[in-house]
Amino acid sequence: MNIILFGLNHKTAPLEIREKLSCVPSEGLHPLPEIMRIEGIREALYLSTCNRTEIFFRAEGSTEETLGHLKELVRKRGGFAAEEIDRHFYLHFDEQALRHLFRVASSLDSMVMGEPQILGQVKESYREAVHNEATGILLNKILHHTFRVAKRVRTETGIASHAVSVSFAAVALAKKIFGTLAGKTVILIGAGEMAELAARHLMQHGAGRILVANRSLARSMQLAELFKGDAVPFDDLATYLQETDIVITSTGAPTYIVSREMLASALHRRKNRLLFLIDIAVPRDIDPAAGRLDNVYLYNIDDLQDIVDENRNIRQKEMERAEEIVTEEIGRYRNWYNTLEVVPTIVSLKEKTAGIIRGELEKSSPWMHNLTEEDRAHIEGLLSSVVNKILHDPIVGLKDKTTDHSAKPYIAAVRHLFNLEEDGPSETRSE
């Protein structure tokens, strides 16, 4: 196939290495035109995200020389030392490269397995490759096949349906409890990173207003500005709990700052509307006894971690099925690719028989001259039908031989027996 993948990702390179290349290339600065000028590269895809930069390409000629030029291009663009290229970058060839691309698009190689963003990024990279005229028959087929694999993995497995981060587990629980997050009010008590991330996820999934209560008013205002929310006085927590649906706490307080009595009072004033509390602090911010109140759902960091661990195990099982899908689709692509070996011979055979039909019709034109246009069309159609039926079995036989890589002697025999020109239609593949 001469398909090669060259790149680095979050598994092979730290952030300070990845960030040298991981950006969406600016208009006019996209590396694809420069990549396509490298001797031997015929088709190419450039994928760049915060976690990976990969170049997937089809090569002709001296692979070693082509790779040398590509590595030097990447080294210069990223300002790498030569040893950094050897230490952090990887190479995959042919089916190994194909498997890697399928796994990347299906988010099996992502930092968070099952995340949906990577497929969109692969699609955008493909659009850029098409725009730069960097694709051909093989890359077009491979990318469309890649999208098919990703769709199968997402629809036939549950790999994306179970939260595997503490912050996102909190969102999944909130959606389960409320049914919808639309219009729900969230209060952040403290300014911990995980609490902030959970609030961000909640907002992305439809939650409404964000309130922030922190002992430092300046920090409250800073965090509130991130969510276009409101900073509220830390000492007025009891009041604001009356209008809040979701509470996320992450202070460093040595004792409980939200008591059972405070919540009971708030519930009475809110007419027992559901209240969801996420206590991510260590030590805990919320009195565990509050969890026994009616209409109160209280989860601490260990509860969320248990959910994450369980979901990670579920995803791992789903990953096994996803890997099976990748393997199946590699087999399908291989079968398609192998048929390309016989395509030039089949095309030559059909062109030769079509030429024979045209020649015989021309020889017969004197006596066919008296026929109607409809009769002549029937005769031409009959001749084409007979020839196609005669060729059907040989063509199917040639295609069948591609499955076990034994087509070459049959191709040679057909070309010899039918006296096909040596310089037939141009090859659609390269080895």
Token output for 42: 């015929």
Q: Which of 36, 50, 130, 383 is catalytic?
A: 50
Answer yes or no: 50 catalytic.
yes
What burial letters (b/e) apply to 313-331, b meaning 16+ CB within 10 Å? Answer: eebeebbeebbebbeebbe
Q: Using CA atoms, how far apart are residues 390 and 215, in angstroms rounded to an integer?
A: 87
Q: Would you state the torsion angle of the CA atoms of residues 326, 329, 331, 336, taken in this order, to the nearest 10 degrees?
A: -150
Q: Using CA atoms, how far apart are residues 118 and 49, in angstroms rounded to an integer?
A: 8
Q: Using CA atoms, how far apart are residues 219 and 235, in angstroms rounded to an integer?
A: 15
166, HSE (Cβ side, Cα atoms, 13 Å): 19
Q: Using CA atoms, how far apart are residues 153 and 20, in angstroms rounded to an integer?
A: 31
Q: What is the CA radius of gyration of the chain?
A: 32
Which residue type, as a one-letter code, is found at position 116? Answer: P
Q: Using CA atoms, how far apart are residues 23 and 8, in angstroms rounded to an integer?
A: 13
What is the set of active-site residues? 50
